[in-house]
Amino acid sequence: MRIGFDGKRICCNQRGLGNYGRNLVDSLTITHPELECTLFSPQRAGPALQQWESSFLAQPNHHLVTPTGAWALWGSGWRTIKPASLAAKDQLDIYHGLSHELPWGISQSGIKSVVTIHDLLYLRLPQHYSLIDRTVYHQKVLYSCRHADQIVAIGQQTKQDLIQLLAVPPERIEVIYQSCHPDFYHQLPQQDLQRISAKYQLPNEYLLYVGAITPAKNIAAIIHALSLLPSSIELPLVIVGHPTSYQLQLEQLIQQLNLKKRVIFLTIPQKDLPAIYQLATLFTFPSLFEGFGIPIIEALFSGTPVLTTQEPVFTEAGGNCSLYVNPNDYQAIANGIVQIIEDQDLQQQMSVAGREHAERFHYLLTAQHMFELYQRIVNS
């Protein structure tokens, strides 16, 4: 079977959608090494992802296609216009748009297609998107949903949103959970944990947030909750993410609440992240809405207790082993933190049960379900 993948996020995004694509391609390579995989990307991988690209291309049946000639000056246009004809020329069996998009003309190319829809946040939380972004996202998602032979939703919430908000027939949607990198699946040796702790000068115990630093992630709620903790609990908060303009607002809030010594911002390479999770006392993730919530899965695989939002999308990821709160109730978040921090037996129970629950999102299961979907499409 010959599969083409939209490689933009794979080659350009270090987390989020990029991780989804890389983890899927890696797991398919492990479970079905006979697959021929071609990435279509408007550019080569940057320095942080060059090692992954080299490993991918080291496989004899793996290829990377990038624009040449005049197209190299307009990569975004190439990604939208050219892959359909290139996939047809190479006689691929399936083209998989990994992040909401399919190239123009894919349904006329003779190549069957799959598109993964991660979320419809631009419709759920429109206030966090500009008008032009909402318009562009909507047109891309509508086009992809109309022309794909099969739509993959990363969770039940996204499937329901596609049905309710875009009137997509349910039989055209298959839920295949996304996973996280297998580096999170194994407990690290104590010496590795100590090395990472020393490298970033981490406190012995801390609350942790990992993800985008944007208003929709509701990080301000964790900071407010931190200010409401009793004096007997002086846990610091470690925020891991790439700096944004919104971080300036958070820093102002931290200053107002006199918490400067208790909040740490870190930007770290992916390879150090498993240790950051495993060293944390509690993972806090009161996001307003998600397509799924991969950081929750990363925390559960790491054996770290999770406190997150009481909405179906979060309970789907977090299972019965996580604690759920109203993300807009700062005192409820603070109370949840206290409940877990002050009960070591509860922490242990959440850790063990969380690790067991996370197995349903193992990347080998994701790969097998995706491969079976590819087979059904090719044979239909």
C-alpha distances out from residue 292 to 128, 175, 219, 284, 327, Å? 18, 11, 17, 15, 16
Looking at residue 47, its pLDDT comes to: 84
342 and 265: one domain? yes
What are residue 5's DSSP bridge partners? 39, 96
Residue 321's domain spans which residues?
182-361
Looking at residue 125, its pLDDT comes to: 87
116 and 34: one domain? yes
Q: How many domains are contained in the chain?
A: 2
169 and 205: one domain? no
Q: Which residue has the tokens 């079976």?
A: 372
- Domain with residue 251: its CATH number is 3.40.50.2000
160 and 216: one domain? no
Residue pLDDT, tens place only, 106-160: 999 999 999 999 999 899 889 888 999 999 999 999 999 999 999 999 999 899 9
Looking at residue 358, its pLDDT comes to: 95
Looking at residue 283, its pLDDT comes to: 98
Instruction: For residue 38, give the nearest of 73, 74, 76, 82 by alpha carbon.
Output: 82
> Tens-of-pLDDT digits for all 380 residues of the chain?
999 999 999 998 877 888 899 999 999 999 999 999 999 999 998 888 889 999 999 998 999 999 998 898 898 899 999 999 999 999 999 999 999 999 999 999 999 999 999 999 899 889 888 999 999 999 999 999 999 999 999 999 899 999 999 999 999 999 999 888 889 999 999 999 999 999 999 999 999 999 999 999 999 999 999 999 999 898 999 999 999 999 999 999 999 999 999 999 999 998 999 999 999 999 999 999 888 889 999 999 999 999 999 988 899 999 999 999 999 999 999 999 999 999 999 999 999 999 999 999 999 999 999 999 999 999 98
227 and 301: one domain? yes
User: Phi/psi of residue 232, each to 5°?
Assistant: -75, -15
Do residues 149 and 174 lie in contact, with contact meaning Cβ atoms separated by under 8 Å? Answer: no
Measured distance CA(129)–CA(122) in Å, rounded: 6
Looking at residue 17, its pLDDT comes to: 87
Looking at residue 145, its pLDDT comes to: 96
Angle CA(42)–CA(4)–CA(117) in degrees, nearest 5? 80
188 and 175: one domain? no
144 and 215: one domain? no
Looking at residue 245, its pLDDT comes to: 92
